[in-house]
Amino acid sequence: DALPILEYACDIEAEVVGKPSRMFFLSALADMGVEPHQALMIGDDIVNDVGGAQQCGMRALQVRTGKYRPCDEKHRDVTADGYVNNLAEAVDIILQQINQGQSG
């Protein structure tokens, strides 16, 4: 692990930021100028993608590809706001929601 070497060489303590860190998600949202309640995370990892996003106030869909396992839908700590079979299905759902919002 090179992290201790870098910390020593730079004389600072590193702060590792990545999913499911709250700071990771909030930083990405801030860069886009989006509030958590305005965003939707679509990911295949129930804990890091879905759980991480939900912890900072985002809604999250789990896609049934990649890291997804059927047991994720009964995870003891994290429940996705919805499940989709692929990214295209997620996009279709988002577009339907937008269209309903514009017509209603």
Which pLDDT value is given to residue 79?
98
Collapse the DSSP code of 20 into the 3-class scheme (helix H, G, I; strand E, B; otherwise coil) and give the result.
Answer: coil
pLDDT in tens, the chain (104 residues): 677 887 788 888 776 666 778 888 999 999 999 999 999 999 999 999 999 999 999 999 999 999 999 999 999 999 999 999 999 999 999 999 888 888 76
Residue 80's Cβ-count burial label (10 Å; 0-12, 13-18, 19+) is buried
Distance CA 97, CA 63 (A): 18
pTM beyond 0.85: the answer is no
| C-alpha radius of gyration, the chain, whole number | 17
